[in-house]
Amino acid sequence: MVDADDVRRVALALPHVVEMDSDGFDFRVADKGFVWSYPERTPGRPRRIRTDIAVLYVGDEAEKQALLLGEPDLFFTTPAYDGFPLVMLRLAHVDVERLTELVTDAWRMRAPDSLAGDLDAAGS
């Protein structure tokens, strides 16, 4: 089981990551978000930032569907994310090793090629 502090530690260990000011967590590489707190929206109520759920960039619809269908206890989506290569991850259901893999993969998909070598040089 991991929490927002683990997400922060893993994300900030990656090269060229900037944490945006947020009520939860929000990490970017080259001005592109790759992992952030889930902004839960319920009609008629104010948006609620959920730090127990991470939104992850996954690259494409095929990867999104593979995660959703293959591990429904970990991943979910909502209609607001239809058409976007994003999944929500239940942090309470994942360990640090898997979190590191997922966040690093999201970073790789969002970072420009010119920065990818910096991750390899860091040994990740």
Sheet with 75-76: list strands edge to edge. Answer: 17-19, 26-29, 32-40, 48-57, 86-90, 75-76
Q: Above 70 in pLDDT, residue 91? A: yes
Render 70-110 in DSSP notation, one character per residue: H-TTTEE--GGGTTSSEEEEEGGG--HHHHHHHHHHHHHHH
* Model confidence pLDDT, tens digit, residues 22-81: 999 999 999 999 999 999 998 899 999 999 999 999 989 999 999 999 999 999 999 999
C-alpha pair distances (Å), 108 with each of 33, 50, 103, 124: 11, 24, 9, 11
pTM above 0.75, yes or no: yes
